[in-house]
Each structure stands twice: as structure tokens, then as C-alpha cells.
Amino acid sequence: MADKQPVNPAADSEGSHTPKNHIIYRYEPVLLYITLKNIPWFKERPISEISLGGLLILVVIRTIQYNITRMRDKYLHTNCLAALANMSAQFTGLHPYVAQRMVSLFSQLSKKHARVVDQIRESAVTETDNEDPSEQNLMADLAVLEEVLRMVLEILNSCLAASLHHNPHLIYSLLYQRELFNSFKTHPTFQDILQNIDIVLSFFSARVEEHGKGSNLSPSEVLEVIKEGSVQFRRDKLKKFPDLKFKYVEEESPEEFFIPYVWSLVYHASNMYFNASRILLFSLSAS
């Protein structure tokens, strides 16, 4: 398989989308009202009932997490995040587990970010006159991580700004892990977007404390407080950011990637016979 990556999403001010992302963006409201029950192939956690849109979000998040830990393909997670971003303003009635996984994605990325920062600091302490390639790699990893973290925060912000009152479970998950965002509040890359999230969390945290009056509220009681507060929350307090819209940008000569890739899929998955000694288009080790 060729090493060349075929896609690279870029911000689009005119609202164009890739064919795939356009379909997801267009039909997302419908997906959220299609209910699925007892999905046997979803092994991450038993889910008795979830919307098709919620399941789509879970699959995309799982793909991002797998890619970050195993494959480390920048374009894959960028495309996945672009798909989530295109849908984010349409998220309504998110399943509790979907909300939890969205926040846990940020948690996973923030831990990885902290490790890379620590490694860079350690490298700086033992700095020599010669340029260290490993340090350059760490700086590149840090830049990618911060780009991804920023996109995740933008997705969360987009959802809250557009449909906060329809997503109490997301607010609950954000409140539950509020400390995740503390170390990023003064970071110049995240400061502006986190101001919005902090406004939301401060509002609902104050309401929970007010209703609790020193006692511990149950999860269901906290959720009720959030639902009541959502009606009263003024979204005009939030800073307005541009709508998240991404489009498909195809590199030159995409056939150099797609033709060998498609034929490799045919060879490995079709059960058709090919003389392996005569295959030159792709590597037989490709999966």
C-alpha cells in the first residue's frame, strides 16, 4: 500500500463538505431519532438502547482512540474529528455513555499531552549542543496533540452553544470531570474556547451546590438540577465562534493511493484466486 495519505480536511467558510461528511451532517437530526436496541457487536459496554447517531459518535470516538494509541495516523483522526465537528451543532439528547466517552476522549488526550510535555522538559534538562532528533519528534507530537485537543474542545463548545438544553448528560459528564480542564485554562491554544466551557460549568456547579446545601445529591438529583438550570441558562453569555464546517480536500494524484489500496482489499478479502508471484501493484503484507 502506498504511504501517501489521500485526504486532508480543511476549514471551509462557505459550508462545503466532503461527500461523506455532507451526508452525515445532513442526516444527523434523523439519525438521532432512529433507535437501536441490543447491539450484539458493540463489545465496549452493554447498551440496551441508543440512537443511531449516538452509536455513530461512539464508533468514531473509538476509532480516534485506537488510532492515537496504535496507528498514529494524523489524517485518520483529523478526518474523524472533522466528521464529529460537522455534526456537533446537531447533537441532541446524547446518551449518557456517549457523553461520557466524549469527555473521556479529552481525558485520554490530556494525559498523553502531559506525558509529552514532561518528556520535553526532561530532554531540555539533558540538552546537548547537538540537535536531538527525538526532541524534534516530541515537539511534533506535541503540536499534533494540541491540534487534536483544540478540535475536541471546539466540538464540545459547539454542542453546548447550539443545544445545551438538550444535552444534560453531557453537562453532567463535564461537571464530573471538571478538573480535567484546569491545567489548560491559561494555555494560549485553549484559553478562548475554555472560557465558554468554564462559564457553563461554573453556572451549573453553583446550582448543584445551591440545591445540595452541604449534602451530597444523588446522580439523578444532579441531573434534575441540570435539566432545570438548562432552561434558565442564557446562551448569550457564551462567546460566539465560527460554525464548525469541514470539507474534503483531495491531494494530487489520489489514484496512487486508492488503486493499490482497493486492489489489496480485493486480494485479501474477496476469496478470489490471484497468482501472488505476479502481483506488483501493492505489497502482499498489506492488510
For residue range 214-223, list pLDDT tens digits in order. 678 899 999 9
What was the pLDDT predicted at 62? Answer: 92
What is the biggest distance separating any 2 CA atoms in the chain, rounded to whole angstroms?
A: 76
Distance CA 58, CA 76 (A): 16
pLDDT above 90 covers what percent of the chain? 38
State yes or no: pLDDT of 4 exceeds 80.
no
Q: In the chain, at which residue ranges do the beta strands (DSSP E only) sit?
A: 10-11, 35-37, 49-51, 246-247
State yes or no: pLDDT of 5 exceeds 80.
no
Report strand pairing: 49-51 vs 35-37.
Answer: antiparallel
Higher pLDDT, residue 2 or 56: 56
Burial (CB count <10 Å: 0-12, 13-18, 19+), residue 234: exposed
Lowest mean pLDDT among 211-215, 253-257, 267-271: 211-215
DSSP 109: H
What was the pLDDT predicted at 129? Answer: 54
Domain residue limits, the chain: 10-251, 261-287
Mean pLDDT of the chain: 82
Q: Which residue has the cell 494560549?
A: 188
CB burial string 104-141: b at 16+ within 10 A, e below? bbbebbbebbeebeebeeebeeeeeeeeeeebeebeeb
Reported as type and span, the H/E element at residue 168 is helix 168-176
The 10s digit of each residue's pLDDT in 31-65 is: 777 889 988 888 888 888 999 989 999 999 999 98
